[in-house]
Amino acid sequence: MIKLYGVIGDPIVQSMSPVMQSQEFEKLDIEAHYHPFHILGKDLHDAVKGMKAIGVEGFNVTSPHKTTIMPFLDYIDPLAKVIGAVNTVVRINDEFHGYNTDGIGYIKALQADWKEDFKNEKALIIGAGGAAKAIFYTLLSKGMKNIDIGNRSVDKAKQLIDDCPYEGNSNAISLKEAEENLEQYQLIIQTTSIGMYPNLSESPLSLENIQQDAFVSDIIYNPFETALLKEAKERGAKTQNGLGMFVYQGALAFEKWTGQTPDANRMSEIVMKHLGGKLC
């Protein structure tokens, strides 16, 4: 029987998950259908119950449901619980189990594009929202120690650090402080929406003081190159956009559903092909 999978969100038309996941089901000869479901917040509980009743095997969760779905699931993985967000649901023994593959997806992309072992490097995370939290907590859970958080509202960065159950050596700083002390970081991770289409010229901070061999990562992939990444490149740094994180979070979800490892390069190519026509 054809197995059912999908992604839920509001809005959902923009999601690249259906083309990316459907391609891998087909290439790996798995009989499955992956559907985008537009679910409003008020219908979320009914939607989860409905998906369980009709036999959905697994689904991705995107904005704005990543946190609000948690009470409606039967089990939450410890890392997802700490992050406070679920992006992947797997049916196990007729229960829905929630995971968060965003942070680990980010790490896999970093390993693919930068280096395998970056535990001892010093990092700056720009932003203190949901994406920053997933990345920050996952990096600390994997043993990285020196990660500062620079944010417009320093209080929010401080809260993120104070709430973190993993051991680390982190400071909450303003964007101005981050800008002035940028030379101490080997890794800079941009997690805000600043620079996202259509605000192409916006950047959270100047990279004037960046180390030349720093690695600058921006989780945005529309545009493929934000103003921040453009400046980083011009200053000689290596860069990475958010496509890798998106692909790997999806690849990890696919593995949890099927036990098979999809082809990350092929997934990346199909997303690029589809976004190509729509990008600015």
Binding site listing for NADP(+):
127-131, 219, 242
Known catalytic residue: 3? no
If one asks whether residue 84 binds ligand ATR (CB under 6 A), the answer comes out as no
Among 23, 88, 151, 241, binds ligand ATR (CB under 6 A): 151
DSSP letter assigned to residue 226: -
Q: Which residues, 202 to 221, sit near ligand ATR by CB under 6 A?
A: 204
Handedness of CA 253, 258, 263, 266 (dihedral sign): negative
Angle at Cα 248 formed by Cα 108 and Cα 158, nearest 5°?
Answer: 65
Torsion of CA 186, 187, 193, 198, to 10 degrees: 70
Taking CB under 6 A as the rule, does residue 130 contact ligand ATR?
yes
Residue closer to ligand ATR, measured from CB, 155 or 208: 155
DSSP character string of 163-182:
T--S-----EE-HHHHHHTG
Please tell me whether residue 150 binds ligand ATR under the rule CB under 6 A.
Answer: no
- Decide: is 153 part of the binding site for ligand ATR (CB under 6 A): yes
Written as one string, the DSSP assignment of 40-54 is -GGGHHHHHHHHHHT
The stretch near ligand ATR (CB under 6 A) out of 7-15, 71-79, 130-138, 224-232 is 130-138
Is residue 237 involved in binding ligand ATR (CB under 6 A)? no
Q: How far is the CB of 172 from ligand ATR (least distance, A)?
A: 11
Tokens of 94: 């007729």
Q: Is 233 in the site for ligand ATR (CB under 6 A)?
A: no
* H/E segment holding residue 155: helix 154-162
Question: What is the distance between the alpha carbons of residues 139 and 211, in angstroms, rounded to a whole number?
Answer: 21
By the rule CB under 6 A, 192 interacts with ligand ATR: yes
CB 216 within 8 A of CB 188: yes
Catalytic residue among 27, 42, 52, 66: 66
List the one residue out of 123, 166, 128 whose CA is nearest residue 146: 123
Nearer to ligand ATR, 32 or 140 (CB): 140
The residue whose Cβ lies closest to ligand ATR is 129
- 152 near ligand ATR, rule: CB under 6 A: yes
Kindly indicate which of the ranges 26-34, 125-133, 177-185, 205-213 contains the residues binding ligand ATR, using the contact rule CB under 6 A.
125-133
Judge contact between 257 and 24, C-beta under 8 A. Answer: no
Please state the closest distance from residue 157 (CB atom) to ligand ATR, in A: 8
* Binding of residue 127 to ligand ATR (CB under 6 A): yes
Closest to 6 in 3D by CA, of 66, 85, 15, 14: 15
Q: Which residues bind ligand ATR (CB under 6 A)?
A: 127-132, 151-153, 156, 191-194, 204
Catalytic residue ranges: 66
